[in-house]
Amino acid sequence: MTTPGHRITIEPADGPVRVVRDGVRVASTTRALALRETGCPLRLYIPAEDVRADLLEPSRKRTYCPFKGTASYWSLPGRPDAVWAYPDPKPEVAAIQGHFCFYDEGES
């Protein structure tokens, strides 16, 4: 998706992605998507099937992005609103539907 001064690209991420919180594996995949957006850090979107949904607690938080749509949030133990997804993303970024994104992806 491209608008004057703003661009979003989505492509397969390089290599495997793991999310570990407090010693617990929350997600692990070789199928992550790398979303690059003007003015934002690289974000890795992980397929829902590769995320331990049993560790996620739905949040009331919602945000709106004019380029991606409305995001829903989930919390991890001790980490409120640490995970988000776009259940009904804009058509230009439809590839991220069914994927979760984590603040501070990677092993920690």
Instruction: Over range 82-99, report the average pLDDT.
Output: 97
Return the pLDDT at 108. 37
**Gyration radius of the chain over CA positions:** 13
Q: Report the distance separating Cα 41 and Cα 33, nearest Å.
A: 14
Return the pLDDT at 5. 84
Give residue limits of the domains in the chain.
2-102
Q: Which two tokens stand for residue 64?
A: 């709106």
pTM to 2 decimals? Answer: 0.91
| pLDDT tens readout for residues 26-71 | 999 999 999 999 999 999 999 999 999 999 999 999 999 999 999 9
Q: Report the distance separating Cα 4 and Cα 16, nearest Å.
A: 33
Topology of domain 2-102 in CATH is 2.170.150
